[in-house]
Structure 1
Amino acid sequence: MEKIVFLDKSAVAPGIRLPEPSFAHQWVEYDYTDSPQLVERAEEATIAVTCGAPLRAPELAQLPDLRMISVAMTGTDHVDLEYCREHGITVSHVPAYSPGTVAEHALGLLLALRRKILAYHRLLDSSEWYGEGWQTNVFLDHEIWDVHSSRIGIVGMGKIGQAMGKMAAGIGMDVVYYHPTRTDSDLPLVTFDELLETCDAISLHCPLTDSTRDMFTLAELRRMKKNAVIINTARGGVINEQDLAQALRSGDLAGAAIDIVEHEPLRPDEPLLELMDLPNFIMTPHVGWSSRQSMQGLMDRAIQNINQFINGTPTNLV
């Protein structure tokens, strides 16, 4: 009988139905499992399910029965893939399970940032608005910028990036793409220099790789247009967080909206949390993927990957 351990069930909303695997099994689940807890909790497990709980080589080496890891996400940077390849552990994931939902979140962040929606909400939630001369319907505390007719540069040309491009074009934006290694495409491509110097907004939809890590440091952020903003719903390490904080504090960057940080789970000492007082900064806790519909589809496919592995026809292999 297979023993399946779901390492971080709390990553899935309570209303999401987990399909029953189609074979005889023992199912064990935990709200969240960090590295020091992994060996004890996954002991004798043959299959592990993880959304974001880490599976690194030192712990994997102590789990000789583990044969398969089902990543209930697209990204797999929390799993030591090299160790798994060397030791015959099959790793599957769920590619592009709902590209539209992440793109919607990115577009929502962009609109909220440009229209200063949260800043004006906070204004009315404070005592500042009814000071001297409060009898007015005109509030000019925070500068608002139109989104239509502005140029957006999308980093990444996968399904999420293209979904974002279609949505942005639908509200009248001029859409261009940048890819760190590709130079030809049916999509309108620009160079990195053009991306930085001509785009009013940059939205990140790329994996974290050697070519994308620290793609945006203080130097790149300062090269962006003075009134430009950046949106990150991809991976935290694509933007250097300390440099982003400096650029926002100094006024070198007009605004940023972030749904992902470099070190997850989010920690109380996360440096970007120190920016929450800024009207030109929005941060959400990695929820861009988590609509009700996408989470259900995600878990359906993660369990399907397990069924297919047991049936000898594994799919969605990393």
Structure 2
Amino acid sequence: MHNIVFLDKSAVAPKIHLPKPGFPHQWVEYDYTESEQLVERAKDATVVVTCGAPVRAAELAQLPKLQMVCVAMTGTDHVDVDYCHENGIQVSNVPAYSPATVAEHALGLLLALRRQIVSYHTLLKSNEWYGEDWQTNVFLDYEVNDIHASRIGIVGTGMIGKAMGKMAAGLGMDVVYYNQGKTSSELPLVSFDELLETCDAISLHCPLNSSTRDMFTLTELKRMKKGAVIINAARGGIINESDLAEALRSGVLAGAAVDIVEQDPIRPDEPLLELMELPNFIMTPHVAWSSQQAMQGLMDRAIENINQWNKGTPTNLV
């Protein structure tokens, strides 16, 4: 009889059907589990399921019954995978559950930013445009730019990056890729220098690790092509947040749109929230992954990972 604890059920939309593992088990779920709550809640667990709730070494060391961590996401930076490997705890994730989902959101952010969709929506909502001469009003409050025929540089050559490239190419963009340490590919690769100096938009689709953390600081943002924008639907920390704020406020960077912050989940004191009044900045709260279709597929595959692990034929091991 396995004891399974779902640490953060609130990460799954109410309409999503959550299948149960196909073997005898006890199932307990919590809306969200902070680090200091983990040991008490999972003390008898043989399996924990986490979307984004942290599972760190300090708490893992106090869970001697734990045999598996099922990550119901692709990213595993919130789990101490090294500790799990060293202590015989298997970790599974759900890779590429819906590459188009994140790519669609990133493309939507790019379109909204370049076409100033949010700014003009907000303008009409505020009624600030309405005056005696409204019949002759021409709306030129915010600068609108086409993305057709512009160059987009995609950081990362995984399935999401490729999906983003395919969509961007379909809109007539010139698509190039950058991948650290990769020199040959069927994709059009460019150097980091060329990425910064020639791209009208840069979209991030790479993991957060020691080599990508602070990949974009004020130094790199200053080197970007004049009028360029940057999109981050990957991981917070790839762009240095304080440097991003300075670059936007000073005009060094024409615009930015992000779906993820360094301290995830987003908190009321998140520094980037101070930029929300800027017309050249858009932020969404880590929802790029969360279409109904993607979430259902994600949870189906996460539970199937548990089933396969129980059978002795584990899949999607990290």
In structure 1, the residue matched to 2:89 is: 89
**Residues 1:70 and 2:67 are matched in the alignment:** no
**Pair 1:45 & 2:45 matched:** yes
| Displacement after TM superposition at 1:130 (Å) | 1.7
Choose 129-138 or 139-148, whichever is displaced more.
Answer: 129-138
Which residue matches 1:150? 150
What runs of 5+ residues in structure 2 fail to find an aligned partner? none
Give runs of aligned pairs for residues 64-143 of structure 1, distance below 5 A: 64-131=64-131, 133-143=133-143
1:15 match = 15
1:205 counterpart residue number: 205
Cα distance in structure 1, aligned partners of 2:136 and 2:214: 45
- Please report the RMSD computed on the Cα atoms of aligned residues, expressed in angstroms: 0.8
Aligned to 2:258: 258
Displacement of 1:134 in angstroms is 2.8
Counterpart Cα distance in 2 of 1:306 and 1:26 = 13
How many Å separate the matches in 1 of 2:266 and 2:90? Answer: 28
CA displacement 1:251-298 (0-9 Å, x = unmatched): 100000000011111111111000000111000000000000000000
In structure 2, how many angstroms separate the alpha carbons of the residues matched to 1:211 and 1:181?
Answer: 10
Letter of the 1:276 counterpart: M
2:229 counterpart residue number:
229
Greater Cα shift, 118-127 or 232-241? 118-127
Q: Which runs of 5+ in 1 are unaligned?
A: none
- Percent identity reads 78
Deviation of the 1:190 alpha carbon: 0.4
SS at 1:256 equivalent: strand
1:163 alignment partner, SS class: helix
- Deviation readout 1:177-231 (Å, 9 max, x if unpaired): 0001101111000000000000000000000011111000001001111210000
Work out the CA distance in 2 between the residues paired with 1:110 and 1:259. 12
Which amino acid is 1:284 matched to? T
- Displacement after TM superposition at 1:5 (Å): 0.3
- Give the distance between the partners of 1:16 and 1:235, measured in 2 at CA: 25
- Aligned-pair CA distance for 1:104: 0.3
TM-score (ref. length: structure 2) = 0.99
The runs of at least 4 consecutive aligned structure 1 residues that moved more than 6 Å come to none
Q: Does 2:65 align with 1:56?
A: no
Q: Secondary structure at the match of 2:193?
A: helix
Alpha-carbon distance between aligned partners in 2 of 1:182 and 1:137, rounded to the nearest angstrom: 52
Aligned to 2:248: 248
Matched AA of 1:114: R
Aligned-partner Cα distance in 1 for 2:275–2:169: 30
| Offset at residue 132 of structure 1 (A) | 6.1
Q: Within 1, Cα distance between the matches of 2:106 and 2:16?
A: 23
After superposition, what is the alpha-carbon deviation per residue over 1:233-263, rounded to whole angstroms, capped at 9, x for unaligned?
Answer: 0000100000000100111000000000111
Residue by residue over 1:134-155, the C-alpha shift from the partner in whole angstroms, topping out at 9 and shown as x without a partner, is 3334200000000100000000
Measured after TM superposition, the shift of residue 157 of structure 1 is 0.1
